[in-house]
Amino acid sequence: MSKGTSKTQNKNGSSVTPVSKARKLAIIGGGNMARSLIGGLLHDGWKPRQFRVADPNASQRDLLSQTLGVTVFEDNQEAAAGADGVVLAVKPQALSKVARELAPALIQTKPLIISVVAGIRTADIQRWIGAPVPIVRVMPNTPALVAAGASGLYATPEVNNVQVDFAESMMRAVGLVVWIQQEYLMDSVTALSGSGPAYLFLVLEAMEDAAVAQGLDRRTARLLTLQTVFGAAKMALESEDTPATLRSHVTSPGGTTAAGVRELERGMRDLFYQAIAAAAARSEAIANHYGAEGEE
């Protein structure tokens, strides 16, 4: 997982310049994903004054200004004014209204628009804005907060190289970045890495509960579970071997692991196949439903 502090190659093969720490980023919607992204970028050296966050909810705004020190706004247009990048981080059902309201400002000042909204396609956002503005669609995940995020990025043809670098460098500061060439695959990215942390938190819960049922105390069960999952992921990331090979190194013939894996093989692969397919289908359904708003 590379950080955004060194020059690397972007999706066009040219070198990526880390985002200037003078840039201003407006974030429309100050919820969970906004907090994870801001927290990760602050950790990377961004300053609170670089963020202009809009949220209609006063308690949400207070939380953001008190815990992260960022500038907050009730009005989306005020937050977007003068920003180099505008991150759309509202729920899918709120995006059409937000995009239409912001349209005059976005057309006039031409910031890079970055949408982290699940499902909604760039063509629909451009239709709501009323112009073929450059948009980078990003599917991040909440581990961005601890600089261990994973983001899939898709750029519309209007996005220039400087804007590619801006988006890539920003997301790289909070974790891994992968460019996706065909927009429809963003539904699969959403289902895999966007939603993925929740699947793994569920796995953690299940492993911990199973260990408690064996008689371990909750704290011990949690610590051993967390370190085991962390260690396995770190090992798989750093190893040349496939996960299947690494698994074989743990599995002695006739041993304990073989007994455990045999139980998991009774349904776990199918469950993950179904879970990711269901999440991707939901992303597509969100796009078809909420993305159609305002269509002739």
Ligand X SMILES: O=C(O)[C@@H]1CCC=N1
Contact segment (CB under 6 A) with ligand NDP among 24-32, 126-134, 228-236, 240-248 equals: 24-32
150: left (phi over 0), alpha (psi -120 to 50) or beta: beta
> What's phi and psi for 27, nearest 5 deg?
-125, 120
Give min distance, CB of 73 to ligand NDP, in A. Answer: 9
Q: Specify the residue, 196 or 221, whose C-beta has the smaller distance to ligand NDP.
A: 196
| Burial (Cβ within 10 Å: 0-12, 13-18, ≥19) of residue 166 | buried
Site for ligand NDP in 44-63 (CB under 6 A): 54-57, 60
Which residue's C-beta sits nearest to ligand NDP?
31
Contact segment (CB under 6 A) with ligand NDP among 116-124, 202-210, 218-226, 258-266 equals: 116-124
Contact segment (CB under 6 A) with ligand X among 57-65, 95-103, 187-195, 254-262 equals: 187-195
**H-helix or E-strand containing 88?**
strand 85-88
CA pseudo-torsion sign 221, 227, 232, 237: positive
Residue 98, interface with ligand NDP (CB under 6 A)? Answer: yes
* Binding-residue pattern over the window 191 to 210 for ligand X, x denoting contact by CB under 6 A: ---xx---------------
| CB within 8 Å of 109: residues ≥ 6 apart | 80, 81, 82, 83
| Burial (Cβ within 10 Å: 0-12, 13-18, ≥19) of residue 22 | exposed
Residue 190, interface with ligand X (CB under 6 A)? Answer: yes
Residues in contact with ligand NDP by CB under 6 A are 28-34, 54-57, 60, 76, 89-92, 94, 98, 116-118, 139-142, 194
